[in-house]
Structure 1
Amino acid sequence: MQVQLETLSGLERRMSIALPMAAIDAQVAERLKRVARTAKIQGFRPGKAPAKIVEMNYGAQVREEVLGEQVQQGFYKAAVEQKLRVAGYPRFESVDAAGDAESFKFAATFEVYPEVVVGELAGKDVEKANTPVTDAEIDKTIDILRKQRTRFNHVERAAAEGDRVIIDFKGSIDGVAFEGGSAENFPFMIGQGQMLADFENGVKGLKEGETVSVTVNFPEDYHGKDVAGKTAVFDITLKSVAEAQLPEVNEELAKQLGIADGDISKMRAEIRKNVEREVKRRLTARNKEAVMQVLLDATTIELPKSLVELEVGRLMEQARKDLEQRGMAMKDMPLPADLFTQQAERRVALGLILAEVVEANKLEAKPEQVKAMIEEFADSYEQPEDVLSWYYASPDRLEGPTSMVLEDNVVEFVLSRANVVEKELSFDALMGNNGQ
């Protein structure tokens, strides 16, 4: 096998390879013999057709198969001999071998993995967030759980903040009704921002059966362009008022939340455990993102276009499946690749950088780390041992936890080298509650 390698650009290479035709012919002949044993050709019993007839019927197909295999094997053998780390898939093309009947020549164009040199981490600032979980956070979580179990009781009084009301309304602009401006038996809660403030204020103080005309000024940036910036008059009739009643923090609530004996202290302990688990998960993700950004900022790397294209394809397919699961028909709807290019480049870059950091600093995931990761994950299930058994039933299932441990190891390594800036993050900011 003759091999010639040339550099086309930074990471792009072209390899020209000549394979001995005698070896290819020998493989074709051998495979045709195997085909002949079972070949079904009209006029002959299976396996009894003459060799020439078998070659006439199957020769072209067999030769194409053998050539394809020889090209693949020849390329990867040459890549190993040349000590090349091939990125993505090569593009093969045959080369005109006029006057050389003894060789089959082809060329492969491909990219190689870049040399990754991680930048200096000392002196780089990495923000590490911390969020304490106090009794106040537990109380707040209990309030959320209570609100999720709110009951509404019909009352005979004027509508007030926090009530759920049912109304009929008709809206008009300059005396003309507009689309979406009318409804019957429409429910909403006062004070939740479901309706514009002018509208809600008009409902407050009404009793069942009462009607009022309310002037509502739509803001300029209102999502309904037809009414944005305009003034409408709504005739509103209140049909029902229901008062919100939150469950008491008592034995009954504890049982509803899974505490069999209704012990409130056990309920609070279980809620604290769940809250602390979620806080840890979010902090880990946030701090990991900060570390990944530092690695990206510190490292200059040329990305193989083939790997980026593969990642774009994966992201597009994932997005397509997500949209289909939401009920959107995506069969004939194209997704622009440009939407995913930046994310794909970031993921490819991080993959290469993380692999280098792990290898260079021997940060491999230890079995006990992987087991601890799975146990922590399984702890949120009713039967943790079943989750543990499921993961260890197949080596493939350990790939996810192993990758997570590797990332955690990289995070700890970077934090030990960089300048860590501690930041206390409020519970609401971490959970995205906006103070609610």
Structure 2
Amino acid sequence: MNGTMQVNETLKDGLKRGYNVTITADELNAKVTEKLEEARPSVEMKGFRKGRVPMALLKKQFGPRLLGEAMQEAVDGAMSSHFEQTGDRPAMQPKVEMANRDWKEGDDVEVSLSYEALPDIPDLDASTLSLERLVVTADDDSVQETLQTLADNAKNYETKKGGKAAKGDQIVLDFEGKIDGEPFEGGKAEDFPLVLGSGSFIPGFEDQLIGAKKGETPDVTVNFPDDYQAPNLAGKEAVFSCTVKEVKKPVAAALDDELAKKYGAEDLDALKAQIAERLSAEYAQAARAVMKRNLLDRLDETISFELPPSLVDAEANQIAHQLWHEEHPDVQGHDHPQITPTDEHRKLAERRVRLGLLLAEVGRKAEIRVTDAEMTQAVMNQARQYPGQERQFFEFVQKNEQVRQQLQAPIFEDKVVDHIFAQADVTERSVTKDELKAAVDALDEDEAEAATA
């Protein structure tokens, strides 16, 4: 270390490191003096000209205040110098504690420094990896199937003359609901279009209108669910007096240029081209997910190195905590029993930490960076979830380093994965969309089994 600072190793066990750092009183005093000399020209004090205050008086007046600042700078400098000399990179924030708790001004400062170092990670030769990319072509049948779905979603309803309302039909009705004979807020509407079987209303409401005809005035009796969003209605029986004003049958939209214009295309051919392009992009994205999983599985199986226990513990606790909340969605806060990770949670945590460190090292050596433009796009995508509050979300992200890291991490990981793909030996295999779907479903099943095991 520089100057009179002393550093003695107290622990070296695996990745665990411990050091005792001594900063002499003379060094602290020199730092305080240096700070006072810098400030001296601008200091004004009664009885002295500006910049002419004696150093002894400055030390008496401002020394104690600057001592803590000098001490912090000395400790930070010692840590920076230590990491520069040893090449260690701490896995998490180092723990720094005063060793001589009875310290008083004039004493040397003894600091205890402890951390877990990041391990030496083996070099990855991506050119030795053989990977397979599934390829699905957006054929005419797939395009036609999607086109038909769009037509079904754009269907119209025409008057059903003299017929009874069936499931899938749309009825136009007036209704007024009452509980114990008294109307309630939100229980009345006129000319309301309701598709029977859509599940838009309280369970049982739509079923009781099947078979109704225009002009009929049926009463519909239903029970609000116990967990209904309005507490004053939850669990109560209501009677709705209805008037059926019209019964309509669904009519699918024709596959023509008019349909295309509804979806923003010039004509039907242009809409088909858009569908083919979108399907191709969806297939490619799904195929990439399958190839990425295969890559990560391969890396997890073949590359091994010592893992920092603190990172594994933190990841295992996070996994266990997240899964507990998924199983108990009614508990929003953290007022719950202590959650202990299982062996399976730790196994999954070890995989995530290992792969995370490996990809981070590959990205570091390849000098992969997340650009400002990529971060801006990520923030914009996230901000869309808060309509009307986009500006506040942008400001929140700017002030919150942890949130920025959460947004940046998946972008960085994907760029590293693409970097590995570009170097690996990748072969393509044509499959059907059903085969691709099965491969994607298998990924979801594996994740579910790993999380709940």
TM-score, normalised relative to structure 2 = 0.61
Q: CA deviation at 1:183?
A: 5.9
Task: Using the TM superposition, name which of 139-148 and 63-72 deviates more.
Answer: 139-148
Residue 417 of structure 2: aligned partner: 407
1:14 CA displacement: 1.1
Q: Contact 2:136–2:280 (CA<8 Å) still a contact in 1?
A: no
2:382 is matched with which residue?
none
Which of residues 142, 146, 151 is equivalent to 1:141?
A: 146
Please give the residue correspondences for 1:289-368 in structure 2 after superposition, counting only pairs within 5 Å.
289-296=293-300, 301-305=306-310, 309=314, 347-356=352-361, 364=366
Q: Give the counterpart letter for 1:206 in structure 2.
A: A
Instruction: State the AA in 1 paired with 2:111.
Output: F
- SS of corresponding position for 2:97: strand
Distance 1:336 1:421 in 2: 49
Which residue is equivalent to 1:163?
169
Residue 55 of structure 1 deviates from its aligned partner by 1.9
Q: Deviations over 1:81-115 (max 9, x none)?
A: 23322222212122339899784321211111134
Q: CA RMSD in A?
A: 5.6
Return the alpha-carbon distance in structure 1 between the equivalents of residues 425 and 195 of structure 2. 47
Q: Following the alignment from structure 1 to structure 2, what is the Cα–Cα distance between the partners of residues 111 and 8?
A: 10
CA separation of 1:211 and 1:336: change in aligned 2, threshold 3 A: same
Following superposition, the deviation at residue 15 of structure 1 comes to 0.9
Task: Report how far residue 184 of structure 1 moved.
Answer: 4.7
Identify the range of structure 1 (298-307 vs 243-252) with the bigger mean alpha-carbon deviation: 298-307
Q: Distance in 1 between matches of 2:169 and 2:216?
A: 16
Deviation string 1:297-355 (CA, Å, 9 cap, x unpaired) is 65565245268759999xx9xxxxxxxxxxxxx9xx65989899969876543211223
- 1:335 and 1:354, CA in 2 relative to 1: closer, same or farther beyond 3 A? farther
2:171–2:246 contact (8 Å) kept in structure 1: yes
Deviating more after overlay: 247-256 vs 93-102: 93-102
For 1:5, the aligned partner's letter is E
Matched, 1:252 2:258: yes
Alpha-carbon separation, structure 2, partners of 1:234 and 1:117: 71
Deviations 1:145-202 (A, max 9, x none): 3445444455554323332334437699xx9999999765565322334468865443
> Does residue 57 of structure 2 align to residue 53 of structure 1?
yes
Structure 2 residue 269 is matched with structure 1 residue 265: yes
Say how many residue pairs are matched.
377
Aligned to 2:21: 17
Among candidates 101, 114, 117, match of residue 119 of structure 2 = 114
Gapped regions of structure 2 (runs ≥ 5): 322-331, 379-404, 442-453
Does the C-alpha gap of structure 1 residues 234 and 128 become closer, same or farther in structure 2, counting only changes over 3 Å?
farther
CA separation in 2, counterparts of 1:348 and 1:112? Answer: 14
Shift of 1:27: 2.4
Distance 1:43 1:337 in 2: 65
Deviation at 1:269? 1.4
The answer for the alignment partner of 1:326 in structure 2 is: none
**Partners of 1:11 and 1:148 in 2: how far apart?**
59
1:290–1:344 CA distance, 2 compared to 1 (3 A): same
Structure 1 stretch displaced more, 230-239 or 145-154? 230-239
Q: Give percent identity, aligned residues only.
A: 23
Evaluate the alpha carbon distance shift between residue 292 and residue 71 of structure 1 in structure 2; reply closer, same or farther with a 3 A threshold: same
**Matched residue, 1:80:** 84
Structure 1: runs of 5+ lacking an equivalent: 317-329, 378-395
SS at match of 1:87: coil
Assess, with a 3 A threshold, how the Cα gap between structure 1 residues 62 and 336 changes in structure 2: closer, same or farther: farther
User: What's the CA shift for 1:127?
Assistant: 8.7
Distance 2:74 2:415 in 1: 40
Q: CA deviation at 1:403?
A: 4.6
**What is the CA–CA distance in structure 1 between the aligned matches of 2:235 and 2:185, rounded to whole Å?**
16
Closer, same or farther: CA 39–100 of 1 in aligned 2, 3 Å: closer
CA distance in 2, matches of 1:425, 1:307: 38
Partner residue in 1 for 2:75: 71
